[in-house]
Structure formats: structure tokens, C-alpha cells
Amino acid sequence: MKTRIDSYVSDIIGKVKEEYPFPEIIDETEHAIDFLASALQELASDRGRLLDIGCGALDKTIVFQRMGYACFGCDDFRDPWHARKENLDPVLKFAKEAGVQVYAQDDHYTIPWEPESFDVVTLVNVVEHVHESPREILNFAGRYLRTGGLLLVAMPNSVNLRKRLSVLRGQSNYTPVRGFYENEGEWRGHVREFTAEETRQVVEWTGFETVQTKTGHTMARRRLGNPLMLGIFKGICVVFPSFRDSLLVAARKPEGWAPREPDPEEMEKSLTASWVGHGS
């Protein structure tokens, strides 16, 4: 039986889906949106201003807006799907009608809103796509988050059960190689996925104070159509939560937070440890 929070969020997702220009996208993302929205309900129930960095198709951002948050989204919109005007224009129009303010970035870390003006900043399925250190995008999030504000970082779990089984069968745990091979120009897919513990570490290394780390099922119900297989999968994940397909880390920005600079000594230690670990 659904909780009151889940029912409330599910009703909003359903209404957005009825109006959204591409409902098939929400078919894919509704469980992920529910996972995030429940965390927002628990940790940021006062609503306030929410910045969605890497807002993409704006499906989740519009749901958050309907939940009562004043939502702002930014993205460079250079993914192949967004590059087609017949896709992006209807989504931007719908978001504007919903009251979401959207900014298309010329570079990754420039937006027109005031620093430290947001109560919540979200990085959803973004960090695993960046080619540079996650430190930079986390610093960016911190600059725009008010002191005491909530940071949510969510992405696929790099050690979920499906990927573990793939490796045991001699298959790759990366995204399918054909898409990477056929790609033209900059690769916009996953560069490096993280575990829940690694995500917590990089968030804390950037000076935030973790308040919640959890895993969840945002893809399994869609990809495992067989109810028996889904039941077995979820049963295993009750015993081993780290096997779930997705992760979320929530953190607060403390008083006196400052952007994190690179640490050459830690870099050297890490390189030394990696060489030792490989026996070279």
C-alpha cells in the first residue's frame, strides 16, 4: 500500500504525464522522479527555490514545480535528443507554461541567478556524465545553494545487481559499446558511474554535510517485466541494499562553506596507491 507521500507524488506525476509533450519519457522516468520527490518531501518540505542543474527534458523539474517548489533549470542542451528543435522547443514551452524558469548555458558554470539564492539544488543523472572531476560541478552547486540548503545528488548505481551479474558472465558493466562507437563529436554518455559510498565521499570532500545516503529501484520495475524476476531481484536487494539500481545522496551546505580547491598531495597519494594496487 502506498504511503500518503507516494500517493501525492504519484498523482502529480500522472497529471504532468497527461500534459507533457512526450509522455513516453515519463514512462521511463516516473519511478526515478518518485524516488527524488519522496526525498524532497522528507528533507525539504518547506518548499522554496529549487535549482535543477542539468535539467534535461525538464520532466522531473516540472513535477517539482507542481509540488510547490519555485523551480529553475539550467542545461547546455547539447545532448543529441535536445539538439533537435522538434524535441526541445515543445518541452521548453511546456516548462515555461508550468512556471519553470530555464536557462540554456553557453558554458557549464554560468547562470543568471544570484549565488546562495536556492534552498535546494539537484544534480540528477549528471555527475556520471562529466569529463572533468566532479569537484567542479559540486562547487558550482555549492555556490548557488544557501547556507543550510539541501543538495541532492542522484545517479545509477555502478555496482547494482544487474552489472555484477554482467561482469560474472564476462560482459561489460559499461553502457553498450555500439552507441559509443557510433557517436560523433563529444561523448555525452556515462563517463564514470559511482557507488553510493563514492558519491557520499565526493560530496563530503567538497565540504557538504551528508544527511542521507540511500539506494532505490528506479529502473528495475521497468526493465524486469516478469513479476517473478522482479520479486527475486527486490528480495535480494532487501538483504543487499547496495545491489539496488540507483543511489541518492542528500547533504546540507554548512556555515562557512567554500569551494573546494584541488589537492596535489592527495592526487599524488591516489596515483601511488593505484600503482601499488596493480602490483606495478
| DSSP conformational letter for 262 | P
List the 246-252 sheet strands across, edge first: 101-104, 69-75, 48-53, 118-124, 145-156, 246-252, 209-216
pLDDT of residue 11: 94
Residue 73: alpha-carbon gap to chain centroid: 13
Domain membership of residue 119 as a residue range: 4-277
- Answer yes or no: is pLDDT of 184 > 50: yes
For residues 114-136, give the mean pLDDT.
96
Strand pairing category for 101-104 and 69-75:
parallel
- Answer yes or no: is pLDDT of 1 > 50: no
pLDDT of residue 272: 77
Q: What is the domain count for the chain?
A: 1
Q: Is the pTM of this model over 0.75?
A: yes
Q: What is the per-residue pLDDT across 222-278, written as a single tens digit (0 to 9) for each? A: 666 677 777 777 788 788 888 898 999 999 999 999 999 999 988 888 887 665 555
DSSP-based three-state secondary structure for 139 = helix
Please report, for the domain that includes residue 29, its CATH number. Answer: 3.40.50.150
Q: Which residue has the higher pLDDT, 222 or 69?
A: 69
Q: Which residue has the higher pLDDT, 280 or 175?
A: 175
How far apart CA 183 and CA 48 sit, in angstroms, is 39
Q: What is the per-residue pLDDT across 11-50, written as a single tens digit (0 to 9) for each? A: 999 999 999 999 999 999 999 999 999 999 999 989 999 9
pLDDT of residue 251: 98
Strand pairing category for 246-252 and 145-156:
antiparallel
Spell out the residues 6+ positions from residue 240 whose beta carbon is closer than 8 angstroms to its own.
Answer: 161
Spell out the residues 6+ positions from residue 88 whose beta carbon is closer than 8 angstroms to its own.
Answer: 77, 82
Task: Work out the percent of the chain whose per-residue pLDDT is above 70.
Answer: 92
Q: In 3D, which of 280, 205, 220, 215 has the Cα closest to residue 249?
A: 215
Q: Cβ distance 40 to 149 under 8 Å?
A: no
| DSSP conformational letter for 261 | P
Q: Which residue has the higher pLDDT, 160 or 29?
A: 29
pLDDT of residue 279: 44
